[in-house]
Structure 1
Amino acid sequence: MTDTPARKVRVALVFGGRSGEHAISAATAAGVMKAIDADKYDVVPIGVTREGQWVLASGDASHWELTSGHLPEVTRESGREVASLGEAGEIDVVFPLLHGPYGEDGTIQGLLELAGVRYVGAGVLASAVGMDKHYMKLVFAGHGLPVGPYVVVKPRDWEQSQSEVIERVQSALKFPVFVKPARAGSSLGVTRVDDLTGLADAIEEARFHDPKVLVEQGVDGREIECAVLGGRNGGPPRASVPGEIVVDHDSADFYDFEAKYLSDSQARTNAPADLPDDVAERIRDIAVRAFEAIGAEGLSRVDSFVTPDGEIVINEINTMPGFTPISMYAKMWEASGLTYTDLVDELIQLALERPTGLR
């Protein structure tokens, strides 16, 4: 009598979604599809359309890649429609590669918690806090992390008195400021404003993506990022070497959507960043503290600024950062000795060892 060979772990990659970061999510899925160890895992690609319909996606990884001439999109014609995760067959773990609202914000995490399904990444609360830059900053400040000055513009504030909002920004902040949606990523809807004349238009642009808006005082400094990975078997989180975004200011004002994803010339990334050892270690310490402050699990990328006098100001945390092979999260771990394929495997293993339910 022969032993029945153990089946491979079935991993559902959920991507696309209803947010403005739909195409970035699909590109992230393409990277994972290419890198995942096919001898160890069976991959079940599940695309979510912009309207929220789930489909068992067909097509190979190249179909979902992001290029300057192609923004991938999940449609009802992308595969077979499914009404529930159960229709995809037995799933051992979900890798929710959704960016932005309706995915990275705790919504799909809550669905998976209700269903008792293991998944990669942060839980409901940490995902929600990490998505909302307003509450993220409140939590960071409450844990003693260095946060820059900002003003929150709620829908009612703007709709009732735009002049009062502009006066509040003028009295609380110094120009330049950055106006951004409170709950969006990939630099969507972000505008640099150098004086009062552009403020109202910038707020309207941000409100196109989210009715709640943040106005942040610009920080004179280098943009430094650090990747954090959860600890195995209950151990402490691990931080990568820091990396740096270097923007060509002759072609881009800041690290916007085009510079991030569509242009090869507007910005470059350095991993590891050229930093004194003590500054790099402080960046890594702040990244881990930010990860633990919101109760993150699995993975996060923490972005900070380092000023000319060595001060560190934390900008934000992303609980499901861009995750293609050329994304900063993967590049920082590669520079730290962990290949992209091994990183994907590590995240899946972290999810499998984590119990479902309250923890």
Structure 2
Amino acid sequence: MSESPRKIRVAVVFGGRSTEHAISCLSAGSVMAALDPAEFEIVPIGITREGRWLLASADPSQLAINRDGDRPRLPEITAASGEQVVLAADPTGSALLSVTGGDLRTLEPTHGSSAFEGIDVVFPVLHGAYGEDGTIQGLLEMAGIPYVGANVFASAAAMDKEFTKKLAIAAGIPVGAYAVLRAGQSLSEADKERLGLPVFVKPSRAGSSFGITRVADWADLDAAVATARAIDPKVLVEAAIFGREVECGVLEGEFGGAPEASVLAEVRVSADYVFYDFEAKYLEDATEFDIPAHLPAEVAARIREYATRTFTALDCAGLGRVDFFVSNEGEIFLNEINTMPGFTSTSVFPRMWAATGVDYSKLVTRLVKTALRRGVGLH
């Protein structure tokens, strides 16, 4: 009697230390629900807001929004979520170790699973700092474990909006007018005249619209900068672009092929919201999406080409969601690229790919297998 083939052991890592902790939990619940249990064995690793790694629950219902009461309660990984573990940066030994009584030991299969004997691939469903910025990617490279998504450099460059813009400009991709304020710097009068009003003030290295303020009066600028600096000492001030917000999903080409672009999505926000902020994205029924976006064919084709060119310019891998503005005059401007976009089954990225012909389960499977084929190290 032949043995059944060994399942692929996927460590899904989620939560984390960034302001996007809860969004990561929501995304991870969807990813774990989509992984076929006949082919994959899940090792769920939750990271608390303080940075403690825990062997958490793989039950997607534990990572959903609780809508009891007046205000939705977002999921969170806490110290009570499971047994503390660490990922060893040693490619020659067991990757996952348990912390017991202050001591490290190889994690035994105490949960009725052999999954803890080794990890084949990591799906780091982490958004923002300490997850999407190259830090965990560096740890996984040191540990010799393949992982889904961009490498160290691409993750860091995409996370920092200043350097995303610089690399895009070098690749001939248009970006809107902006200024960078490093710690202690203020916006000059010349920059105020160049940018005009209104402007958007945002942390350079954050996502999910955290810390963003629309400023229509220069008297409000200092308060907006302070709000952004509560997240990141480096702040971007961007000129407003009046028009439409359009997003495009990009996947690494299968078997080394060219990157592929999805159909486009247009974001439409309720008149009750000034812009596409955190509550409009996640907590309220304030946002609608046209998928595919209703754009002239030549405009859609140019955006998709800019999306794959941005993906290549930053040396991305695996996946990315590239966001653009289309002005009322028909000009296209890159906004940003997310190397680990929101990944719930209702998030824009998987919905764009579903409309392109790749459903959620196939999308997750493709990303895991692409990461396994790519491995670690230079490519």
Q: Which TM-score tier does this pair reach, normalised by the shorter chain?
A: over 0.9
State yes or no: 1:32 paired with 2:60.
no
Q: Deviations over 1:121-152 (max 9, x none)?
A: 00000000000001110110111100111010
Secondary structure of the residue aligned to 1:129 is helix
**Other-structure match for 2:337:** 317
State yes or no: 1:22 paired with 2:44.
no
Alignment of 1:71-86 (within 5 A): 71-84=74-87, 85-86=95-96
Aligned partner of 1:216 among 238, 242, 247: 238
Aligned partner of 2:250 among 228, 244, 249: 228
Q: What is the number of residues matched between the two proteins?
A: 350
8 Å contact from structure 1 (residues 166, 200) kept in 2: no
Secondary structure of the residue aligned to 2:303 is helix
8 Å contact from structure 1 (residues 166, 199) kept in 2: no
8 Å contact from structure 2 (residues 44, 58) kept in 1: no
Cα separation, 2, equivalents of 1:166 and 1:326: 42
Cα separation, 2, equivalents of 1:345 and 1:224: 26
User: Unmatched 5+ residue regions in structure 2?
Assistant: 88-94, 98-115
Report the Cα offset of residue 310 of structure 1.
1.7
What CA RMSD, in Å, does the superposition of the two structures yield over aligned residues? 1.1
Report the Cα offset of residue 316 of structure 1.
0.5
**Other-structure match for 1:147:** 175
Report the Cα offset of residue 59 of structure 1.
5.6
Amino acid at match of 1:310: G
More helix by share: 1
Secondary structure of the residue aligned to 1:175 is coil
Report the Cα offset of residue 308 of structure 1.
2.1
Amino acid at match of 2:73: H
Cα separation, 2, equivalents of 1:219 and 1:120: 33
Secondary structure of the residue aligned to 1:44 is strand
8 Å contact from structure 1 (residues 23, 66) kept in 2: no
Alignment of 1:124-163 (within 5 A): 124-157=152-185, 162=186
Cα separation, 2, equivalents of 1:311 and 1:83: 48
Report the Cα offset of residue 166 of structure 1.
4.8
**Other-structure match for 2:113:** none
**Other-structure match for 2:110:** none
Q: Deviations over 1:332-353 (max 9, x none)?
A: 0011111101100010111011
**Other-structure match for 1:339:** 359
Secondary structure of the residue aligned to 2:96 is helix
Alignment of 1:42-81 (within 5 A): 42-58=41-57, 60-67=59-66, 68-81=71-84
Structure 1 ranges of 4+ moved more than 4 A: none
Report the Cα offset of residue 227 of structure 1.
0.2
Secondary structure of the residue aligned to 2:139 is helix
Distance 1:93 1:40, change over 3 A: same
8 Å contact from structure 2 (residues 342, 349) kept in 1: yes
Amino acid at match of 1:338: V
State yes or no: 1:196 paired with 2:199.
no
8 Å contact from structure 2 (residues 42, 58) kept in 1: no
8 Å contact from structure 1 (residues 169, 215) kept in 2: no
Aligned partner of 1:109 among 137, 148, 157: 137
TM-score by length of 2: 0.90
8 Å contact from structure 2 (residues 202, 235) kept in 1: yes
Q: Percent identity?
A: 53
Report the Cα offset of residue 309 of structure 1.
2.4
Amino acid at match of 2:235: V
**Other-structure match for 1:257:** 278
Cα separation, 2, equivalents of 1:200 and 1:258: 23
Cα separation, 2, equivalents of 1:307 and 1:291: 22
Report the Cα offset of residue 168 of structure 1.
4.6
Cα separation, 1, equivalents of 2:239 and 2:96: 47
Cα separation, 2, equivalents of 1:317 and 1:352: 23
8 Å contact from structure 1 (residues 230, 236) kept in 2: yes
**Other-structure match for 1:306:** 326
